[in-house]
Amino acid sequence: MSDETPLLVTRQGGVVRAVLNRPARRNALNNALSEALDRLLAELKEDRAARVLVLSGAGGHFCAGLDLGEVGGEQGTPEQRMAAQLERNRGIGARFAALAALPQVVISAVQGSAFAGGLGFVCASDIAFASADARFAAPEARRGLVAAQILPWIVRRTGRSHAARMVLQGHVMDAAEAGRIGLVHQVAPDAPALEALVEATVADVLQGAPGALAETKAMLAALGGAVPDGYAEAGAKAFARCAASGEADEGIAAFKERRAPAWLATQSE
């Protein structure tokens, strides 16, 4: 049922709640969920009655990133696979930019996994909170891929040094460490406390005048974009090259089979 409705959207007054709803896949981004998010973002861009967007995930997880079943399942010639990956990654970059550019205040409420593209949503949000069980990672290189489109958003949130460690080491970071480096603004002890924190923050935001808040977001954006000119396209091409490579084939297969990739065995010889 969740895959039939991959994004649950509810609205109460000026508060819109969007729940990523593929719990069996830890809310990994497939085409259907990505398209539903794009439709919502396009609608909210023109919706001046909406004041706040709260983004969360179903089933105790936020978002595990791109569904690697789709990345590794592309059919066709190498050229066709490259084109498909290029188009997908362009869309990912545009999605983060659209989320950040919304006139609404965007709050991410993170439980469980926020990996790869899920981490991108966290960093493209205006405000991010996590429960103590939340975990964060940019593991793309471990799958033979590249953290192309999420990188500038991590840099914007944490600074280049912490971002470099995340995308190069690829380790899983707990909520306490995420709070320490500024990846999230505050950590709540459990899910009820996280919800209470979100509700209190929404109430604070709604104290602001709608136009003034939208203008404030515009002025924040005017301080400088997260993504340098030309970066998104370069990132899409880098991702496509990696996704169409043998390394990605092996990395994704190893991930699915819960084994070490071949390059680890080579290093140990």
pLDDT digits (tens, 9 = 90+) for 41-63: 999 999 999 999 999 999 999 99
Can you give the pLDDT at residue 187? 98
How high is the mean pLDDT of the chain? 93
- pLDDT reported for residue 246: 87
In a domain, 146, yes or no: yes
Which residues on neighbouring strands pair with residue 12, listed in sequence order? Answer: 15
Contacts of 256 (CB under 8 A, 6+ apart): 68, 69, 72
Judge whether 253 lies within some domain: no
- Express each pLDDT in 118-172 by its tens digit: 999 999 999 999 999 999 999 999 999 999 999 999 999 999 999 999 999 999 9
- Cα separation of 262 and 212, whole Å? 54
| pLDDT reported for residue 23 | 97
In a domain, 167, yes or no: yes
Q: What is the tally of structural domains in the chain?
A: 1
Asked whether the predicted pLDDT for residue 2 surpasses 70, the reply is no
E strand intervals along the chain:
7-12, 15-20, 52-57, 105-110, 113-115, 127-131, 135-137, 173-174, 186-188
Rounded to two decimals, the pTM is 0.94
pLDDT at 70 over 90: no
Q: Is 231 within the bounds of a domain?
A: no
- Residue span of the structural domain in which 142 resides: 7-190+209-222
Residue 27 has pLDDT above 70, yes or no: yes
248 within a domain of the structure (yes/no): no
How much is the pLDDT for 63? 98
What is the per-residue pLDDT for 73?
Answer: 60
Quick check: 252 and 143 in contact, CB under 8 A? yes
Is 236 a domain residue? no
CB-based contacts of 254: which residues, under 8 Å, 6+ apart? 260, 261, 262
In a domain, 265, yes or no: no
Give the contacts of 123 (CB within 8 A, at least 6 positions apart).
150, 153, 154, 156, 157, 158, 183
- CATH number for 130: 3.90.226.10
Q: Which two tokens stand for residue 121?
A: 């949503």
Supply 164's token pair: 């470099």
Round the CA-based radius of gyration of the chain to a whole number and report it.
Answer: 18
Strands (E) located in 58-180: 105-110, 113-115, 127-131, 135-137, 173-174
The DSSP code for 134 is -
Residue 197 lies in a domain: no
Q: What is the mean pLDDT of residues 183-191?
A: 98
Q: Give residue 1's pLDDT band: very low, low, confident or very high (50, 70, 90).
A: very low
